[in-house]
């Protein structure tokens, strides 16, 4: 399977614990995005990378959240001191941006469902 | 600001009926892309179609068709002869391309479609 993969698929943690999620994008894609989706809502943008550079962060991304893409391939999203309000589906997506222009469609992974108890 | 409105929260149809999912968008930018994604119960968002703001031609792909009308800022999605496998949440999304800077992909809240056998 050469699609976007995410690990783990499910995570249950106690309030106050730290969690880390991993995303592996489609191999030739240079852009990687993180979204959060709560029940009954559409995905909300958190942050994105072009190669290893984090180019944009949403105001939703509080200082307890940090994302990295150290080698421009996989990415990690860490949440420190989790709160019950962090319970959501965390989605990763990737796309290909070319110098000649981008088609802008993003391909999504299956998501990591986080439950904070 | 960019905004996507999907006024229909839930729709139920009987198998083989046609169904139209509405999407209305707002943007000040003249260049933008519109998307539809399908989210089946498994949770993974599946890309269906991309449309750019300069191409108002309607598109048909099998049982799916899309009607893009800039005059009403709408990008509606019709499924003909619906099937049980079409049951999912469908999201409309907008990505504006401003002259300067970057904007994220903005999703509507989704329409849950249930097709009953």
**DSSP class of A110:** -
Chain B interface includes A94 (CB < 8 A): no
Averaged pLDDT of chain B? 93
Give the DSSP letter string of B56-100.
Answer: ---EEETTEEEEEEGGGTEEEEEESS--GGG-EEEEEEEEE--SS
Predicted confidence (pLDDT) per residue in B20-72, tens digit: 999 999 999 999 999 999 999 888 899 999 998 998 888 888 999 999 999 99
Tokens matching residue A63: 């200082």
Cα distances (angstroms) measured from residue A38 to each of A41, A111, B114 = 6, 12, 20
Phi, psi (degrees; rounded to nearest 5) at B42: -65, -20
Q: Which of A92, A81, A84, A90 is nearest to A115 (CA)?
A: A84
Q: What is the pLDDT of residues A39-68, one digit of tens each?
A: 989 999 999 999 999 988 998 888 999 999
C-beta separation of A46 from A60 below 8 A: yes
Q: How are strands ordered across the β-sheet holding A19-24?
A: A5-7, A19-24, A75-79, A65-68
Q: Which positions ≥6 away from B89 have C-beta within 8 Å?
A: B38, B39, B110, B111, B112, B113
Residue A25 has pLDDT above 70, yes or no: yes
Q: Does residue A85 sit at the B interface (CB-CB below 8 Å)?
A: no
- Torsional sign, CA A108, A113, B1, B5: positive
Residues of B with CB under 8 A from a CB of A: 4, 33, 35, 37, 42-47, 50, 91, 93, 95, 97, 102, 104-110
- Amino acid A59: pLDDT: 87
Q: How far is B117 from chain A, CA to nearest CA, in Å?
A: 24
What's residue A101's pLDDT? 63
Question: Which site among A43, A56, A103 would you substitute to test the B interface, given the most B Cβ atoms closer than 10 Å to its Cβ?
Answer: A43
Residue A102, pLDDT above cutoff 70: no
């Amino acid at each position: 399977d050469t699609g976007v993969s995410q690990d783990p698929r499910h995570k249950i943690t106690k309030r106050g614990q730290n969690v880390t999620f991993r995303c592996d994008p489609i191999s030739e894609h240079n852009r990687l995005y993180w979204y959060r989706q709560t029940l009954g809502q559409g995905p909300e943008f958190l942050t994105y990378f072009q190669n290893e550079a984090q180019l944009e962060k949403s105001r939703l991304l509080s200082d307890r959240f940090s994302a990295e893409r150290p080698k421009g391939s996989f990415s990690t999203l860490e949440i420190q001191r989790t709160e019950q309000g962090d319970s959501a589906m965390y989605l990763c997506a990737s796309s290909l941006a070319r110098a000649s222009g981008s088609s802008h469609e993003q391909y999504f992974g299956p998501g990591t469902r986080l439950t904070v108890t | 600001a960019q905004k996507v409105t999907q006024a229909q929260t839930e729709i139920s149809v009987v198998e083989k009926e046609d169904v139209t999912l509405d999407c209305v968008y707002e943007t000040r930018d003249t260049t933008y892309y519109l998307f539809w994604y399908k989210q089946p119960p498994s949770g993974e968002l599946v890309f269906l179609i991309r449309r750019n703001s300069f191409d108002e031609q309607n598109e048909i792909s099998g049982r799916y068709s899309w009607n893009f009308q800039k005059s009403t800022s709408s990008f509606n999605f019709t499924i003909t002869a619906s099937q049980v496998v079409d049951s999912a949440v469908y999201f409309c999304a907008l990505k504006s391309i401003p002259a300067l800077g970057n904007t994220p992909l903005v999703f509507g809240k989704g329409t849950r479609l249930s097709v009953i056998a």
